[in-house]
């Protein structure tokens, strides 16, 4: 099981609705994944600033933490997004690790913010205020745990590189070996989860200079198991199903957006869905959309 | 023998799934007897719900306006079901008789294990179309994905477009008629000579599916029957 919802907007007029549309899609997929949920939203960037998404116990005082670091913060439930001047990013990440060991770094990026939590997708979305978020693309996941415990750490999306995230429906069989190989390439992992290895693999390929579509093609050879992946980068949105393709996938494309759902049900409320081009992504084929950088803020 | 029946919407019972529950619909359809006067049903706003119009045993017409989710028309035994949209996984799975007509694409495992009736897909079918089919006739006007006809036991699978990898793997006695190209044949599937009887069967199937394609362009695939019995050369594999 598990459910995936992804939305990549072509029409910028829809950007204020991105979070609301994603929240509806995730809620529909509750039946496929009631344990935990998460989502990444690619919103506006601020020049010379990076966003650090952090997570800690609800009692943790993120306001005081941000004050001590001299940066601004947006707190959303047990997550917080620090806006950090790019020149201070390394220093602040080091200070977080040193002075605030109870804080987990969830994601970093110029545009991406990433939130995940245990509970029903509707509750998780509402705790973080997903419906009010805007942006160019979003990727979400509803999890039915099969390979590891129901924890926030096991919830999707996984982010292993700046502005990069991945959600996965399926399970990988060579993730331990691949994790060891990637660690030798200086990739780091926070969990023993198989899906994080897939994210790490793509981040490694991107780090080595591959485009997202090339990295996804490499994944077809490198990753063994069954999977439907939806991945995001700062400007791109990709989909890949393994060649056997046991995991369901439906896509809809209009002039305004590209949407991914584990089932059509998740797409049923999208605007203009009645006239959308509906298709099932083919097994073993890389699908990839990218917005020109100048159209991003 | 079933062909595609037209539904007369003017006299149909209209059931709106945006206003009423799916369980009510299926209970109403399953309660229909053979002599029921409500012979035409029109279902609105299916919105990809699962198991719409499953287990219908009366010879009624059911038209569904929009995309459906898993197992639509499953276990159908006599109804003529038309889906005006795409179908999710397992459409018409285990159909016994009647017909299911998908006027869009079908997801994987269309017609899985179906014993009888006619499944027509106007668009493409994804992977595993006709898996373990046991007597159903399936006509796909587009192409089919990989592993279609896997362990197909009897019935006929007509593919007007192309077929993906491992077509007819571990095939029993179902017949596969293919007009386009095949990416690869599965284990024990081989091309067969098309006899006049096969050709007549194909013509009938295309006619029943309202499919205007020249039967001359098809090839026939069937079982090489080499997996039916244990072969002593394989003893070392156990």
Q: How far A125 CA lies from chain B's nearest CA (Å)?
A: 22
Specify whether A35 is located in the same domain as A66.
no
Whole-Å CA distances, A206 to A140, A161, A223, A269, B222: 21, 9, 16, 34, 46
Residue ranges making up the domain that contains A62: 46-109
pLDDT of B9 > 90? The answer is no
Specify whether A181 is located in the same domain as A219.
yes
Nearest to B57 by CA among B40, B25, B38, B33: B33
pLDDT of B44 > 80? The answer is yes
CB-based contact B86 A264, cutoff 8 Å? yes
Domain boundary residue, one of A109, A127, A151: A109
CATH code: domain of residue A264: 3.60.20.10
Specify whether A93 is located in the same domain as A157.
no
A109/B54 Cα distance (integer angstroms): 48
- Annotated catalytic sites of A, by residue? 2
Specify whether A127 is located in the same domain as A216.
yes
Specify whether A279 is located in the same domain as A263.
yes
Residue to test with chain A: of B90, B122, B126, B164, most A Cβ within 10 A: B126
State the complex-level ipTM.
Answer: 0.91
Give the A-side interface with B, CB within 8 Å. 243-245, 248, 250, 263-268, 278-280, 282-283
Specify whether A90 is located in the same domain as A184.
no
Domain boundary residue, one of A58, A76, A109: A109
Q: How far A5 CA lies from chain B's nearest CA (Å)?
A: 15
Residue to test with chain A: of B45, B48, B89, B143, most A Cβ within 10 A: B48
CB-based contact A243 B146, cutoff 8 Å? yes
SS3 A26: helix
Asked if B188 and B227 touch (Cβ cutoff 8 Å), the reply is: yes
pLDDT of B74 > 70? The answer is yes
Among candidates A244, A248, A266 on the partner chain, residue whose Cβ is nearest the Cβ of B89: A248
In B52-95, DSSP assigns E strands to 61-65, 77-83
CB-based contact B108 A245, cutoff 8 Å? yes
CATH code: domain of residue A74: 3.30.70.260
CB atoms closer than 10 angstroms to residue A253: 16
Q: What is the DSSP letter of B167?
A: B
The number of domains in chain A is 2
- Give contacts of A169 with chain B, Cβ < 8 Å: none
Nearest to A283 by CA among A210, A227, A225, A219: A227
Residue to test with chain B: of A265, A275, A279, most B Cβ within 10 A: A265
Domain boundary residue, one of A109, A127, A150: A109
Which chain A residue's Cα is nearest to B125? A280
Specify whether A150 is located in the same domain as A242.
yes
CB-based contact B104 A279, cutoff 8 Å? no
User: pLDDT value at position A293?
Assistant: 59
Among candidates A243, A244, A268 on the partner chain, residue whose Cβ is nearest the Cβ of B48: A268
- Give contacts of A32 with chain B, Cβ < 8 Å: none
CB-based contact B69 A265, cutoff 8 Å? yes
Q: How far A265 CA lies from chain B's nearest CA (Å)?
A: 5
B64/B72 Cα distance (integer angstroms): 10
Among candidates B48, B105, B108 on the partner chain, residue whose Cβ is nearest the Cβ of A263: B48
Specify whether A246 is located in the same domain as A147.
yes
- Give contacts of B126 with chain A, Cβ < 8 Å: 245, 280
B102/A134 Cα distance (integer angstroms): 37
Six token digits for residue B156: 């006929």
User: pLDDT value at position A149?
Assistant: 82
pLDDT of B162 > 60? The answer is yes
Q: Given strand A3-9, what is the order of strands in its sheet? A: A112-118, A36-42, A137-143, A3-9, A257-261, A250-253, A277-279
How many pairs of residues across A and B have Cβ atoms under 8 Å apart?
48
pLDDT of B203 > 70? The answer is yes
Specify whether A20 is located in the same domain as A50.
no
User: pLDDT value at position B2?
Assistant: 60
A14/A105 Cα distance (integer angstroms): 30
Specify whether A235 is located in the same domain as A90.
no
Specify whether A91 is located in the same domain as A202.
no
Query: What domains are there in chain B, each with its CATH number?
Result: 9-237 (2.160.20.60)
Confidence of residue B90 (pLDDT cuts 50, 70, 90): very high
CA–CA–CA angle B11, B16, B17 (5° rounding): 145
Q: How far A244 CA lies from chain B's nearest CA (Å)?
A: 8
SS3 A253: strand
Asked if A281 and A245 touch (Cβ cutoff 8 Å), the reply is: no
Interaxial angle between packed helices A89-99 and A62-69, expressed in degrees from 0 to 180 and rounded to the nearest 10: 130
- Residues B97-146 pLDDT 10s: 999 999 999 999 999 999 999 999 999 999 999 999 999 999 999 999 99
Among candidates B69, B86, B89 on the partner chain, residue whose Cβ is nearest the Cβ of A278: B86
Six token digits for residue B186: 């599965």
Give the list of residues 6+ apart from residue A13 with CB closer than 8 angstroms, or none: none
One digit per residue, pLDDT tens: chain A, 297 residues? 899 999 999 999 999 999 999 999 999 999 999 999 999 999 999 999 999 999 999 999 999 999 999 999 999 999 999 999 999 999 999 999 999 999 999 999 999 999 999 999 999 999 999 999 999 999 999 999 876 788 998 899 999 999 999 999 999 999 999 999 999 999 999 999 999 999 999 999 999 999 999 999 999 999 999 999 999 999 999 999 999 999 999 999 999 999 999 999 999 999 999 999 999 999 999 999 998 755 544
Specify whether A51 is located in the same domain as A19.
no
């Amino acid at each position: 099981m598990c459910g995936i919802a992804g939305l990549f907007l072509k029409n910028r007029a829809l950007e204020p609705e991105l979070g609301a549309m994603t929240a509806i899609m995730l809620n529909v997929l509750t039946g496929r994944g009631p344990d935990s949920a998460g989502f990444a939203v690619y919103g506006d960037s601020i020049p010379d600033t990076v966003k650090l998404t952090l997570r800690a116990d609800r009692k943790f005082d993120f306001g005081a933490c941000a004050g001590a670091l001299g940066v601004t913060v947006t707190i959303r439930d047990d997550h917080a997004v620090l806006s950090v001047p790019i020149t201070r990013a390394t220093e602040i990440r080091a200070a977080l690790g040193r002075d605030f060991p109870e804080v987990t770094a969830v994601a970093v990026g110029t545009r991406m913010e990433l939130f995940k939590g245990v509970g029903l997708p509707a509750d998780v979305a509402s705790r973080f205020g997903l419906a009010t978020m805007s942006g160019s693309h979003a990727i979400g996941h509803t999890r039915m745990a099969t390979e590891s415990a129901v924890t926030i750490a096991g919830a999707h999306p996984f982010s292993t590189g700046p502005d990069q995230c991945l959600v996965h429906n399926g399970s990988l069989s060579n993730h331990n070996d691949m994790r060891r190989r990637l660690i030798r390439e200086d990739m780091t992992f926070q969990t023993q989860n198989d899906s994080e290895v897939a994210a790490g693999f793509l981040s490694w390929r991107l780090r080595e200079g591959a485009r997202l579509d090339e990295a996804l093609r490499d994944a077809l050879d490198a990753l063994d198991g069954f999977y439907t992946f939806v991945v995001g980068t700062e400007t791109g949105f990709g989909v890949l199903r393994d060649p056997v393709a046991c995991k369901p996938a439906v896509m809809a494309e209009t002039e305004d957006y590209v949407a991914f759902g584990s089932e059509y049900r998740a797409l049923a409320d999208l605007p203009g869905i009645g006239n959308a081009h509906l298709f099932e992504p083919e097994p073993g084929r890389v699908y990839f959309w990218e917005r020109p950088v100048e159209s991003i803020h | 023998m079933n062909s595609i029946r037209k539904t007369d919407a003017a006299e149909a019972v209209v059931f709106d799934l945006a206003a009423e529950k799916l369980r009510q619909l299926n209970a109403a359809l399953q309660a229909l007897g053979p002599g029921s006067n409500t012979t035409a049903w029109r279902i609105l706003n299916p919105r990809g719900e699962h198991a719409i119009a499953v287990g219908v045993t009366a010879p009624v017409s059911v038209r569904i306006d929009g995309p459906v989710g898993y197992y639509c028309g499953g276990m159908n035994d006599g109804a003529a079901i038309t889906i005006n949209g795409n179908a999710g996984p397992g459409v018409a799975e285990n159909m016994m008789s009647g017909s299911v007509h998908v006027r869009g694409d079908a997801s994987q495992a269309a017609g899985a294990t179906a014993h009888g009736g006619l499944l027509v897909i106007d668009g493409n079918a994804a992977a595993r179309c006709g898996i373990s089919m046991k007597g159903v006739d399936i006509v796909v006007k587009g192409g089919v994905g990989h592993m279609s006809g896997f362990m197909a036991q009897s019935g006929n699978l007509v593919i007007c477009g192309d077929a993906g990898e491992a077509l007819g793997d571990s095939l029993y006695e179902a017949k596969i008629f293919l007009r386009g190209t095949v990416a690869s044949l599965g284990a024990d599937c081989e091309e067969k000579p098309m006899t006049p009887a096969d050709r007549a069967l194909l013509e009938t199937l295309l006619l029943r599916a309202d499919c205007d394609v020249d039967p001359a362009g098809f090839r026939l695939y069937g079982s090489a029957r080499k997996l039916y019995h244990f072969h002593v050369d394989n003893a070392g594999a156990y």
